Amino acid sequence: QVQLVESGGGLVQAGGSLRLSCTASGSIFRLDPMGWYRQAPGKERELVASISSGGSTYYTDSVKGRFTISRSNAKRTLYLQMNSLKPEDTAMYYCAARLTAWYWGQGTQVTVSS
């Protein structure tokens, strides 16, 4: 069983930055991949970014060049650095990771005001 706890969300003005963190209850070495999803009101959940255990990354087109995903095995933490935030980035952000099954955090709200 893996527990994931997100933090770092909040309210920010357009153009601002936030860093989301997702801390796991145990080692993340074997979690592959780990990723950030988001869901805005009335929309489907979408994959924002993911990172493999080897460090390979994926970003959805709308965040390329603005968001950076990273992971620290030593700190058991997944990060999402979000820069140049836009109102359309407003959503609940979820951390997810796969071991033998997928595990999800409870989510952290990101609100970007115009």
Q: CB-hemisphere CA count at 13 Å for 46?
A: 16
**pLDDT score of 26:** 84
**pLDDT score of 28:** 83
Residue 87 backbone dihedrals phi, psi, to 5 degrees: -55, -35
Residues 62-114 have pLDDT tens digits of: 999 999 999 999 999 999 999 999 999 999 999 999 999 999 999 999 999 99
pLDDT of 1 over the 90 cut:
no
Residues 2-36 have pLDDT tens digits of: 999 999 999 999 999 999 999 999 888 888 999 99
20 and 7 Cβ atoms separated by less than 8 Å: yes
